[in-house]
Amino acid sequence: MEIIDITKNLFEAEVFKGDTVPTVNKRTDTKKGDDYTVSDIIMCVHNGTHIDAPNHVLTDGITVEKLNLNKCIGECLVTDTKNLIDKLKRNRKISNKILIKEGQIDADLAEKLIEKNVELLGVEGLSIGDKTTHQILLMQNVIVLENLQLSHVKKGSYFLIALPAKFDYLEAAPVRALLIKNGRIIQKKQALKND
């Protein structure tokens, strides 16, 4: 089993224009003779790799703690928009969890993915798309995963784990996103053990 971390470093990741730049304040530090190291972080919940909940753009949308976590774990496809559009044109079967390595999502593509019952969509960029694209996806409770690190990942099938921190009543939360090679095999072996 190989685990591939696709999470951007919080303090090195680019910050969306206007968002708070994350900073850390060490209140106590063992290097300074304190018994414990204790740190405070000031940040925007959209810093680094994170999940957007529907409440991000929808007044009555659910917040992070109410997201369906089943959608955040499972088989996924890493691809680009060109190949994805090609598969859609050919009416080929696609995964219900998709990570876009190259390219952008627009409203038209978002609508097509909704029709294919996509339940998680992730991108390398700071944003999945414009407000309309967010609304289309989040109205259908699609998990929106943004600011991924996919440059070192080959296109193909993986097992994804991307669970958000449980930030009650908020519209987004940071995520530690991981891909596992041969995750399907692991999942099947586990299922056999449980039978």
Q: Is residue 191 pLDDT above 60, yes or no? A: no
Query: For residue 102, what pLDDT is reported?
Result: 87
Q: Is residue 12 pLDDT above 60, yes or no? A: yes
Average pLDDT score over residue span 61-69 = 98
Residue 24: partners with Cβ closer than 8 Å, 6 or more residues away: 11, 39, 40, 41, 42
Domain covering 2-7+47-194, topology: Glucose Oxidase; domain 1 (3.50.30)
Q: What value does the mean pLDDT of the chain take? A: 93
Q: Is residue 188 pLDDT above 80, yes or no? A: no
Average pLDDT score over residue span 95-116 = 95
pLDDT confidence of 1, banded at 50, 70, 90?
confident
Query: For residue 132, what pLDDT is reported?
Result: 97
Beta bridge partners of 175: 164
Query: For residue 104, what pLDDT is reported?
Result: 86
Q: Is residue 190 pLDDT above 80, yes or no? A: no
Q: Is residue 15 pLDDT above 70, yes or no? A: yes
pTM of the full predicted structure?
0.89
Beta bridge partners of 157: 77
Q: How many CA atoms lie within 13 A of 62 on its CB side?
A: 12
CA pair distance 144, 54, nearest whole angstrom = 9
